[in-house]
Structure 1
């Protein structure tokens, strides 16, 4: 009789079709619970709520194997041996089962990643899994602190743009900036998950009813409002609506002078807290109280700046920067304005619209924001891209992991972790951060496409690269996957921002046209920039050098990149354009240094309780 156990190539015992991957004396759980799904082995059944999802026998066995070993790499050979112990099958049979499972989970409404492809190796089940026995005992579930958090009622809320009823240009900026400021204030509360203002703006088009918004945004509560401006007076009316039923649970009316809007945000924010009967910690109350500036003029400048910077052009960011400055001239202690000013400075410098002095000003602005409000969620979220680009990705990762204790339900925190972990070479952890962000906000746009690219999963890169804001990564993925004609066609008419992005796209353009000398010239010129404004962009430039056959230069750039805080051993070994570098004499030395830095980062991740945070 064939044994129901097998050893993986790493020596770890895995489950085959006869039993679970656990000690022989342990019973099979009654069910495995992940996301909205319940997998019941004894009944050969997958459920989502009251809905039964039908799976063919081998597809069910495949899912059961992956779920039993959640978080661990399941190698293709091990899976195939377990699923077809007495038969010879091709890898395509396993791939078809994985594809079917992804469709079933997706068709059932799951918006997050469950099954990760590890190129050339196998698959990993990413979602946290709780094992339930008939007695009600649960194992392998959350850490005690996570368990406490799991039973805490978390309300999902979206603040839609307010309608400006009389079209007065003086009040027009409030329609978007006021609800966005309210959302930013509420985002730091652990009992709420707040959808982004970008999602709110998109969903508000066409004036959909609350039930439609509930389905689209996956929320419990909708804040809607209107603004009426008459001469110098402003009347702001807000309603907090229980989205699934359309019931109004809170109404707020604020009258103020147009030049004295300071109380409006404060009254609505505290009104929402009272309407939802939220239990705030003393720390949360202090943060909310500190989120209102001391001057009405400062608040008006702040809201106007928030409205202007939405365009993200050099002109709009310059105007917003000046408005934030005026805000801070009125109130030098308003931390949110310092954080947003820091982002303006950094963006203007990064894309070449202003000189290097703006980088120093950005650092100082964030320093002031943290000094005034150390736990301001807005500052932590906006600071991460700057900190990672400055070569301090590990510090950014640890900082965000520690902030999770205060903001476990803030999806923006986890989008920052996606980038910080990727820069540290912790690609699996980066994908797990994406998974956590999508659990909190199924519509959030993350940067996980860059992580999938480094993993060599180009199909998922294209799937997750944000539509409407594509610059380079989809082109690189198409070219790396051998779809060069598609990449060349997509390049036609493609524009880019400043910084190193034009060099990335132009070098690829000339390379695809066969003008390799011009491609190399563009890359070399871009790599002369010091300091590097974007380490990840430098990695793509190094790849381009490798494609053009300049292997020694490419490896030298990667070595510099490692010292500048961007590491990725997976790409060094698996990226098709970088594989020729392994034949160079000093390749192993560079790789060893990358591996050492990744090991340090992984130790820091574990020391900051990262496995629990992303568990």
Structure 2
């Protein structure tokens, strides 16, 4: 006989408990206790019955019974607080209250969905490590996905501010969106010890957030909680979730450190909605998506004129338009992007996201690479797990000629976000660093990877052409240059310094020579 409940199968004949096809390790007495409760689910099982069936009538302490009940709950993802599946009936006993499907024939477990490939098994960091998976949107409205995503992003941000905690970046976590996943498999793929998963249900002005923390090494559930409230209290609810997760991982953490994890991006929920929508568009990276994203960030700023991160993202949109040759009124748009960036750093001195986006935008829009690096370094002090602060800092260091430091920064960013759908930014940064270090074959290889991920990335195409030309492959360089001219017909060798803020004259000369050999007009 098999009993199926939620994602679990309890096989009486094989004496095996499985979760989504994977065996859950439990002791023989814990298995017997669970089987007894499931088999008698229509009634309360008394403690005397437990003693008779599980301990053969031996007298054991109350604490022994309690610890075994807790072990049963942990094995099936329940807790004493939730009592979702195993309920304590005071002074009577225990009852299994989950919905059971008895089955005489073996249950066929569906094959797990394909998992993203990683180059090698990642070693767990020395400090505690976690990824927060996308929360399920239970609102019944696909248009509310952005809201559930935003809640997860804020939890990631709150956890990332804790220096002792290694947090996987948002973009790698979100590669699992919409997929049924095994927490232990996720832990192996991302190289983390803990996984947080949950759901968000939004109905009118009411919201319910649930979450559970799983140890990926053992598959055990360490913590589960549910938070309910009004949208007016959404930031407080997010803070509670982050605080509870932190407390489950390191109970000895001082209250002051938990308090520092509580940061509200804005007091205007309407502005925050627009900010979340804009961020979702920005990550796509195409010309059309950036135009839509910019309009949404301006709307967020209009509703909350002190929303530092919105200024930063809007400035970033202007920088991205400049980098890809999409500006229609270049002087006006550069000035506007710089204005937004300066407002962002003024309002967001302690906002790592604002400092990261604004600092990088300022470096490109004004040519002040040293100032941009200073803002990015401060962002990394505020939030050492913010992957963009590392890879954008690496790119600026490459433009400053610090190629070894740039590569180290970029490699660390990849470790923080190993499955990032925006990996093209890190790849093009590696291409720049290797190009300025004179390693043209490596530069071309990295730039080709970046272009494969985002074909509209102008700088990747230019690096491929220049690298091919300088390594003697002039025929291929000429073919690649056709792609450069399609992406930006106005690009010239003489405009190279105005396009990219390359700091060392020898690096400008090298890039110019490569593009010239490839056939770019003066």
TM-score, normalized by the shorter chain, greater than 0.5: yes
The one of 436, 442, 462 aligned to 1:460: 442
Give distance in 2, aligned partners of 1:414 and 1:374.
18
Give 1:452 deviation, angstroms: 0.8
Q: Give runs of aligned pairs for residues 174-253 of structure 1, distance below 5 A.
A: 174-204=147-177, 206-230=179-203, 233-253=206-226
SS at match of 2:144: coil
In the alignment, which of 486, 500, 520 is matched to residue 535 of structure 1?
500
Write the distance in 1 (CA, Å) between the matches of 2:160 and 2:133. 15
**1:479 Cα deviation after fit:** 4.0
Alignment of 1:397 onto 2:379: no
In structure 2, how many angstroms separate the alpha carbons of the residues matched to 1:377 and 1:178?
A: 18
Report how far residue 191 of structure 1 moved: 2.0
Pick the aligned partner of 2:454 from 446, 462, 469.
Answer: 469
Deviations 1:97-119 (A, max 9, x none): xxxxxxxxx997589xxxxxxxx
1:490 to 1:225, Cα distance in 2 relative to 1, 3 A = farther
Which residue number corresponds to residue 275 of structure 1? 248
In 1, are the aligned partners of 2:172 and 2:417 still within 8 Å (CA)? no
Whether the aligned pair in 1 keeps the contact of 2:127 and 2:165 (CA below 8 Å) is yes
1:410 deviates by 4.2
Task: Check if 1:481 corresponds to 2:454.
Answer: no
Written as runs of structure 1 = structure 2, the 5 A alignment for 1:494-533 is 502-503=487-488, 523-524=491-492, 527=494, 532=498
Aligned to 1:254: 227
Of residues 146, 154, 159, the one that matches 2:127 is: 154
Q: How does 1:80-479 map to 2 (within 5 A)?
A: 154-204=127-177, 206-230=179-203, 233-257=206-230, 261-277=234-250, 279=253, 285-286=259-260, 288-348=261-321, 350=323, 351-353=325-327, 355=329, 356-389=331-364, 390-401=366-377, 404-438=380-414, 440=416, 442=418, 445=423, 446=426, 447-465=429-447, 466=450, 467-470=452-455, 471=457, 472=461, 473-479=463-469
Query: RMSD over aligned Cα, in angstroms?
Result: 3.9
Aligned-pair CA distance for 1:333: 2.8
Q: Which residue of structure 2 aligns with residue 567 of structure 1?
A: 504
Taking the aligned partners of 2:295 and 2:203, their CA distance within structure 1 comes to 28
> 1:450 Cα deviation (Å)?
1.2
- Shift in Å at residue 491 of structure 1? 7.4
Cα distance in 1 for residues equivalent to 2:384 and 2:274: 31
3-state SS, counterpart of residue 173 of structure 1: helix
Alpha-carbon distance in 2 for matches of 1:158, 1:108: 18
Distance 1:239 1:442, change over 3 A: same
User: What's the CA shift string for 1:357-394, capped at 9, x where partnerless?
Assistant: 33333333333333333132112321343233222112
Q: Give the whole-Å Cα distance in 2 for the aligned partners of 1:428 and 1:385.
A: 19
What are the Cα deviations for residues 290-339 of structure 1, in whole angstroms up to 9, with x where unaligned?
43422332333332332333333344333333333333333333322232
Question: CA 1:476/1:175 → structure 2, altered by over 3 Å: closer, same or farther?
Answer: farther
Unpaired stretches in structure 1, ≥5 consecutive residues? 1-105, 112-149, 507-521, 537-564, 581-615
Unpaired runs of 5+ residues, structure 2, are 1-117, 518-522
- Counterpart CA distance in 2 for 1:361 and 1:333 is 17
- Report what 2:66 is aligned to: none
Alpha carbons of structure 1 residues 334 and 327: separation in structure 2 relative to 1, 3 Å:
same
Structure 2 Cα separation of the partners of residues 386 and 248 of structure 1: 42
In structure 1, C-alpha distance between the alignment counterparts of 2:388 and 2:516, rounded to whole Å: 35
Q: Distance in 1 between matches of 2:237 and 2:444?
A: 43
Report deviation, 1:403.
5.3
> CA-to-partner distance for each residue in 1:529-559, whole Å, 9 max, x for gaps?
9x92x326xxxxxxxxxxxxxxxxxxxxxxx
Matched length: 381
When residues 320 and 259 of structure 1 are mapped into structure 2, their CA distance, relative to the original with a 3 A threshold, is farther
Q: 1:304 to 1:416 in 2, by over 3 A?
A: closer
The alpha-carbon deviation at position 248 of structure 1 amounts to 2.5
SS in 2 for 1:172: helix
1:138-165 superposed Cα distances (whole Å, 9 cap, x missing partner): xxxxxxxxxxxx9xx6332222222223
Indicate how the Cα distance of structure 1 residues 474 and 285 shifts in structure 2: closer, same or farther if over 3 A, else same: farther
